[in-house]
Structure 1
Amino acid sequence: MNPYERYLLPWIIEHSCAIGPIQKKRKALVPHAHGRVLEVGVGTGHNIPFYDRDRISELIAVDPAEHMHGRARKRADDAGIDVRVLGLSAERIPLEDDAVDSIVMTFTLCTIPDPTAALAEMRRVLKPGGELLFLEHGRAPTAGVQKWQRRLNPIQNRIGGGCNLDRAIPALVRQDFTISDLDEGYLPGPKFTSYVYSGTAT
């Protein structure tokens, strides 16, 4: 890991993922998690303050970026939530089948090297009747914006820690889940980065 990835990139992610419109989306989504919860891609823990402590019995988080775990644990301490953070990727989740009631995934699917394998793992560990709560940026619906997403994706992938601008989020989720609720649209900001999908899948 080079100095940019270890020091500067976490700072960029910390601030870019905490803007008001994104936090508003988190606040609307994350409190629906219940029971035993798995968060995929916890990063620095932006979601943690939004969990309803009365609804969750256990919070497990996975993220291979171990240099971000300290901030996530600090946010959990501040929120009074116990969290077990594991430095592992989503493609191989170290849980048994049908292990969790809810999975939370925000601004993560863009970066996972093999999103199909990761979603299959999430399907495996989610109990029947459980819910996947997701908030992700991805491919915009208009051809002009898609063109710029394709052009800029190699740059974004390099400077954004593997982040992709143009993944078809609903299509990926539907490979293993049924989407029961979906909200999508642009947030304030450059259109090639700001088309966001928020929803629930079972």
Structure 2
Amino acid sequence: AGVVLEVGFATGKNLPFYPTSVREVLAVEPADLAWDLATRRIEAFAPPVTRIGLDGASLSLPDDSVDVVVSTWTMCTIPDLEQAIAEFRRVLRSGGTVRFVEHVAAAHPRARRIQSRLQPVWGKVAGGCHLDRDIVAMLAAGGFDVRLLSPADEGRFELVPFIAGVATPVR
């Protein structure tokens, strides 16, 4: 896995799941409290973990510098997700991937309408979270080929469906 960029590092809960092939983790985390809470996990993790910024839409990294971008439950809250996706693409090395687990806009029409109605309040009480983002479409529009590892709601009535997937830049 080489160099991993984790956007939305939070308290470092993903660290135990990284393979031994990870050489370094570059963390983007806007919340100082979450970063402070991650200290124990970071100290227990063998490769270095470095906090490199607060916003996935503005990465202070050179082009082609990371092997994997990881985002778990984060793309919903990035204010300028289109720019963040462009940054993911810019910093990924050839053959690199974005690996993600995210909640997404519901496919069921009624659930989607409810999401849209809830969004103005939800965004304020849930730290800027967007219930109704179509993450797959946004990644595709940003030049990624997306392969889902677990589907969303498949048309069932779910207010907060989620997906897991791998996105590869189309070169």
The TM-score, its normalising length taken from structure 1, stands at: 0.76
The alignment partner of 1:199 has SS state of strand
Q: Is the 8 A contact 2:23 2:48 kept in 1?
A: no
Mapped to 1, the partners of 2:117 and 2:8 lie a distance apart of 26
More helix by share: 1
Tell whether the 8 Å contact from 1:169 to 1:197 is kept in structure 2 after alignment. no
What TM-score do the two structures reach when normalised by structure 2?
A: 0.89
In the comparison of the two structures, how many residue pairs are matched?
Answer: 164
Deviation at 1:101, TM superposition (A): 0.7
Which string of whole-angstrom CA distances, capped at 9 and with x for unpartnered residues, describes residues 140-179 of structure 1? 1100110110111111100111001000010011122111
Q: Which amino acid aligns with 2:18?
A: Y
The gaps in structure 1 that reach 5 residues or longer are: 1-33
Distance in 1, matches of 2:133 and 2:148, equals: 19
What SS is found at the alignment partner of 1:75? helix
Equivalent in the alignment of 1:118 = 84
List alignment gaps of at least 5 residues for structure 2: none
Distance 1:130 1:160 in 2: 31
Contact 2:22 2:47 in 1 (8 A): no
Greater mean alpha carbon deviation, residues 39-48 or residues 136-145: 39-48
> Is 2:113 the counterpart of 1:142?
no
The structural deviation recorded for 1:87 is 3.6
Pair 1:47 & 2:18 matched: no
Give the match's secondary structure for 1:178.
Answer: strand
Sequence identity, in percent? 40
Aligned-residue RMSD, C-alpha? 1.6
4+ long deviations beyond 6 Å = none
Matches for 1:80-159 after TM superposition, within 5 Å: 80-159=46-125
